[in-house]
Structure 1
């Protein structure tokens, strides 16, 4: 089974690709530019050029599931949020369904269902995530939505919770999100679930059964 990783060149995407490759999981990293592909190919990871704002259907050929961890980034405007975080996610879900892929794994955000409660600058992003999640839930293919809290660059803790009160900072490391993605990919029986991800005291087996 081959997993297409959309957003592979991002901070979570790269860590997930390395973990999955080391674990023997067959993955295909979708990147926008040939120079980005070199990082993956030098590690023995298959890479394909595809653009969330353009041609990308070919990247899905021969894949069985999708991991979507793409994002427009904090330095872009609402226009890119609409095209990448919203429409890009919707397009990829529709392509995955139409091509008969078995599952779609989305990296979303905690409290995406309450965009008006987010800081003003974050509201377009949260609204995009909310709409993309809702589209995925009704797209007609099995899904898993991971909803991490505030992301940090600390080392992986391997400890998790989905209870807000159990996480004082309501944060999670990007490395732990990558670990959670690998756990989901290893367990194809996990379907049609949305899971809040925070650092805590539980194992992934306890959190995502």
Structure 2
């Protein structure tokens, strides 16, 4: 499978790229800066400079011929309201439009837990959650993409556990490694198309949880 990872240099993006390469996929790592390229070349991926501020038709040039797109980019809510809107909302939407222009159907996005429940949005990250909410809604209602929306809980950098709880009743934490593993397995699991899936660490093996 030819997969383009947007935000490949991010913490989850790097893990997604590594896992895709390890299972033999042809991986294109979307990066912002040229000096990020060498690390991905060494890891067995093809680095491609990709600008989320560019127009969809320009972004589409990089996505031509791909089997799938994974959107793992984000401002992290740390760069101010303007960049949160430009990356997490408008950048995400433009990448969806670009995928459709390029003829790519499969699209997986890393979102965040509780995006549909404003009462649970962290006060310090409200602009980020606004962006995630509307990007997810655009994907669901304004595109014809074969999408999967992953909504992980609080992200931690511990070693992956290989086990999750899907659509939990309450929030929780999940390792970035487990999010990446779930995203990679989601790409080739047709039953996840059209699904919004919340994730925290739990007791169910990821391969089994994906099939559910």
TM range (shorter): over 0.9
Q: Which residue of structure 2 lines up, in the alignment, with residue 129 of structure 1?
A: 132
Give CA deviations for 1:157-194 in whole Å, capped at 9, x if unaligned. 001002535x7x70000000010011112324531111
Q: How does 1:57-76 map to 2 (within 5 A)?
A: 57-76=60-79
1:82 paired to 2:85 = yes
In 2, Cα distance between the equivalents of 1:116 and 1:63? 38
Give CA deviations for 1:25-66 in whole Å, capped at 9, x if unaligned. 111100011101111011221110111012533211221211
Q: Which residue of structure 2 lines up, in the alignment, with residue 14 of structure 1?
A: 14
Unaligned runs of 5+ in 1: none
Q: Which residue of structure 2 lines up, in the alignment, with residue 199 of structure 1?
A: 201
Give CA deviations for 1:136-157 in whole Å, capped at 9, x if unaligned. 0121111000000000000000
Unaligned runs of 5+ in 2: none
Residue 151 (structure 2) aligned to one of 147, 154, 165: 147
Aligned residues: 207
In 2, Cα distance between the equivalents of 1:178 and 1:83? 24
Q: Which residue of structure 1 lines up, in the alignment, with residue 40 of structure 2?
A: 40
Relative to 1, partners in 2 of residues 1:147 and 1:203: Cα closer, same or farther, differing over 3 Å?
Answer: same
TM-score, normalization: structure 2?
Answer: 0.92
In 1, Cα distance between the equivalents of 2:77 and 2:136? 20
Secondary structure in 2 matching 1:63: coil
Q: Displacement, 1:74? A: 4.0
Residue 101 (structure 1) aligned to one of 104, 116, 124: 104
Q: Which is worse superposed, 31-40 or 112-121?
A: 112-121
Q: Which residue of structure 2 lines up, in the alignment, with residue 31 of structure 1?
A: 31
Matched-pair contact (CA < 8 Å) for 1:8–1:17: yes
Q: How does 1:107-186 map to 2 (within 5 A)?
A: 107-138=110-141, 139-165=143-169, 170-186=172-188
Matched-pair contact (CA < 8 Å) for 1:115–1:130: no
**Segments of 4+ in structure 1 off by > 6 A?**
none
Q: Which is worse superposed, 191-200 or 92-101?
A: 92-101
In 1, Cα distance between the equivalents of 2:120 and 2:200? 19
Secondary structure in 2 matching 1:177: helix
Give CA deviations for 1:44-101 in whole Å, capped at 9, x if unaligned. 2111011101253321122121100100124310101100000001001111112221
